């Protein structure tokens, strides 16, 4: 007999996990494909958040207004089944479900997209890179961990700017709620570190054919991954998995 689950936490990566695209790349594909190409060429030389920030400055220098960026975000692919799945789960009385977002996108892209889907109140917290519009319409983006500050101490290969494992532990510490079940929805290689912190009673919903699956297959056993992993390709399958595993 499993013990009764009263409180559960769903942790979401954003790009390619909650949303059906990568917001950092998408806006340039829509508004300036040459900058998108430049980012692809430079991504191994320049830290990713810095690269997005400098590309946003170039976009602004060309006269692209804030409204165009916001419009591109609002039309970014986002599966209706994902919105339906999280709304249904949030409305359910037991288990009571809370949502946390851990993302390497930023604090403007994510809320802009969520608002468009009627999901602006979904997350308890959105842990991501800070961004803000300045009065001229430039989107100023910074790394979550400033390059001159003390960096995180992750040993399992998180990128310099964010260790999602440390962020998850810090959230749980801050929040002081005991969650009977934690569910992690992710796709990327930087979602591997946080899933190592989960217990055997926890669940990983891993998107097929992307970095996270590769790391689970290559390193999961050696790193003592305990959570149960279910795979999905389309958001409709996440909805199905929620109904099957998270409604009691």
Annotated binding-site residue numbers for Mg(2+): 13, 15, 187
Report the alpha-carbon distance of residue 213 to residue 188 in Å, rounded: 8
Under the binding rule (CB under 5 A), the answer on residue 187 touching Mg ion is yes
**Closest CB to Mg ion among residues 16, 232:** 16
Take residue 190 and report the two structure tokens written for it: 């930087």
Rounded alpha-carbon distances, angstroms, from residue 156 to 38, 191, 192, 194:
29, 11, 8, 10
Minimum gap (Å) between residue 126 Cβ and Mg ion: 14
Under the binding rule (CB under 5 A), the answer on residue 179 touching Mg ion is no
Among 12, 16, 26, 192, binds Mg ion (CB under 5 A): 16
Under the binding rule (CB under 5 A), the answer on residue 194 touching Mg ion is no
Under the binding rule (CB under 5 A), the answer on residue 24 touching Mg ion is no
Q: Which does 158 bind (CB under 5 to 8 A by kind): Zn ion, Mg ion, none?
A: Zn ion
Cβ pair 167, 102 in contact under 8 A: yes
C-beta neighbour count of 153 within 10 angstroms: 8
Q: Which stretch binds Zn ion (CB under 5 A): 131-139, 181-189, 190-198, 217-225?
A: 190-198
Under the binding rule (CB under 5 A), the answer on residue 163 touching Zn ion is yes
Catalytic residues: 13, 15
Among 11, 56, 162, 193, binds Zn ion (CB under 5 A): 193
Rounded alpha-carbon distances, angstroms, from residue 180 to 95, 96, 172:
9, 10, 12
Q: Which stretch binds Mg ion (CB under 5 A): 47-55, 76-84, 121-129, 185-193?
A: 185-193
126: which residues sit within 8 A by CB, 6+ positions away? 101, 103, 107, 110, 111
Task: List residues forming the annotated binding site.
Answer: 13, 15, 187
Cβ pair 191, 212 in contact under 8 A: yes
Among 86, 158, 203, 238, binds Zn ion (CB under 5 A): 158
Rounded alpha-carbon distances, angstroms, from residue 206 to 29, 122, 189, 192, 201:
26, 21, 11, 10, 16
Q: Which stretch binds Zn ion (CB under 5 A): 32-40, 46-54, 112-120, 150-158?
A: 150-158
Under the binding rule (CB under 5 A), the answer on residue 188 touching Mg ion is yes
Cβ pair 247, 92 in contact under 8 A: yes
Task: Tell me, by CB under 5 A, how many residues bind Mg ion.
Answer: 6
Cβ pair 138, 57 in contact under 8 A: yes
* Binding site residues, Zn ion, CB under 5 A: 154, 158, 163, 165, 193
* Binding site residues, Mg ion, CB under 5 A: 13, 15-17, 187-188
């Amino acid at each position: 007999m499993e013990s009764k689950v009263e409180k559960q936490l769903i942790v979401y990566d954003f790009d390619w996990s909650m949303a059906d695209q990568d917001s950092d790349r998408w806006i340039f594909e829509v508004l300036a494909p040459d900058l998108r190409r430049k980012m692809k060429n430079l991504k191994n030389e320049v830290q990713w958040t810095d690269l997005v920030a400098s590309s946003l400055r170039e976009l602004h220098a060309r006269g692209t207004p804030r409204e165009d960026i916001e419009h591109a975000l609002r039309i970014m692919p986002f599966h209706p089944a994902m919105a339906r799945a999280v709304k249904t789960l949030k409305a359910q009385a037991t288990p009571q479900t809370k949502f946390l977002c851990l993302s390497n996108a930023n604090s403007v892209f994510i809320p802009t997209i969520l608002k468009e889907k009627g999901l602006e109140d979904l997350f308890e917290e959105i842990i991501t890179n800070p961004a803000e519009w300045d009065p001229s319409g430039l989107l100023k983006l910074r790394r979550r961990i400033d390059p001159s500050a003390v960096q995180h101490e992750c040993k399992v290969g998180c990128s310099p700017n964010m260790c999602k494992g440390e962020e998850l532990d810090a959230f749980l510490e801050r929040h002081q709620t005991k969650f009977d079940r934690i569910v992690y929805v992710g796709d990327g290689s930087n979602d591997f570190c946080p899933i190592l912190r989960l217990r055997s009673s926890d669940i990983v919903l891993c998107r097929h054919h992307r970095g996270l699956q590769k790391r689970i297959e290559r390193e999961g056993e050696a790193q003592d991954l305990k959570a149960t992993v279910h795979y999905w390709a389309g958001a409709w399958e996440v909805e199905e998995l929620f109904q099957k595993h998270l409604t009691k």
